[in-house]
Amino acid sequence: MASARTTLLEAVNRVLQMIGEAPINSLQSQLGLAKQAQDALDESSRRLQAEGWSFNTDYEATLVRANDGTITVGPSVSRVVVDPYLFSSLEVVQRGAKLYDRRAKSYVFSADLKANVTYIFDYDDLPEHARQYIIARAGRTLQEAIIGAADLTKINLQIELEARSQFLEEETQLSEHNMLRGNPNHTGVIRTYMPSRAIIR
């Protein structure tokens, strides 16, 4: 059988293994520790993705207004960052499912916006390096919450640190940040001095 990305069932069983429990055969009708393991995975996934990474952030996405001038974002959107240099008269924040201008104290906008948008994806939509780190983080936190064994905490923390190191290495390569040419994925939200701009000039 060919190798493939880690499935949700495999992830749940890895978390169960990290707390010294037997694996399960199905995700259907989960009870007890299996349900807690999947909940721990969901929580770790949300917390990680909320930070914003290469795989769940769209740079300079166009946010289109509705007929009434409001801009609604989907339930999977965790953060919207509008470039203050492109829209200097606005101070946009996310309130519920809509964007809000704190300066105008209004949900109504006179033009479509460009923003960096961060999403929360389901487990099956995540790349493998994110899955591995989420598993390690979920296993460590669940063990500490349920068992609290110092020896298991030490082992699981080492596993988590190694997974995070590999995760950050992969993200650094995918994001292609470079001190000389900047981030090629977008022009930048904060337009402070960058060597890349001096070279361009």
List the chain pLDDT tens, one digit each, 201 residues. Answer: 457 899 999 999 999 999 989 899 888 867 789 999 999 999 999 999 999 999 999 999 999 999 999 999 999 999 999 988 889 999 999 999 999 999 999 999 999 999 999 999 999 999 999 999 999 999 999 999 998 888 888 999 999 999 999 999 999 888 766 655 555 555 554 455 555 555 555
Cβ(134)–Cβ(48) below 8 Å = yes
Cβ atoms of residues 152 and 20 within 8 Å: yes
**CA nearest 104: which of 94, 88, 91?**
91
The pTM of this model reads 0.82
